[in-house]
Amino acid sequence: MFGLKEVATIENGADSEEEYFVSLQVAINSLSAWSMQGSMGRAMMGAIDSGHCMLAVMPTRDYWGSRIPSRAEVKPGTKGSYEYVAERMGTEWADQMAAAMEAV
């Protein structure tokens, strides 16, 4: 579940790259994190753009009301999809991010 621990990890740094991106993936999955301060949304979008994290299972809206699609709504291999993460980071990493989705 997304909470203060994840916010602190994202904002103050993590012990490892893996911990940082798992915290971001949990934030993405929570949907409510999209309505937080701008730096949180930028961090989540940066992780999706770089292929470290994938979109959540459900669509949502950000602070400004812009629609954030679900990962099922994007084409496989495009930003936000499982395949995009697997291509950039490997299937083991993508599986870990997919598992983080189930933790929310």
User: What residues contact residue 15 under an 8 Å CB cut-off, 6+ apart?
Assistant: none
Specify the length of the chain in residues: 104
Q: Please name the amino acid found at residue 19.
A: E
Task: Tell me the H-state helices in the chain.
Answer: 4-12, 17-30, 38-50, 82-89, 91-102
Does the CA dihedral 7-12-16-17 come out positive or negative?
positive
Q: Which of 33, 27, 94 is nearest to 61 (CA)?
A: 33
- The pLDDT, as a whole number, for residue 101 is 60
pTM: 0.85
Q: What is the pLDDT of residues 4-47, one digit of tens each?
A: 566 556 666 767 888 889 888 998 988 878 887 788 888 999 99
Average pLDDT score over the chain: 86
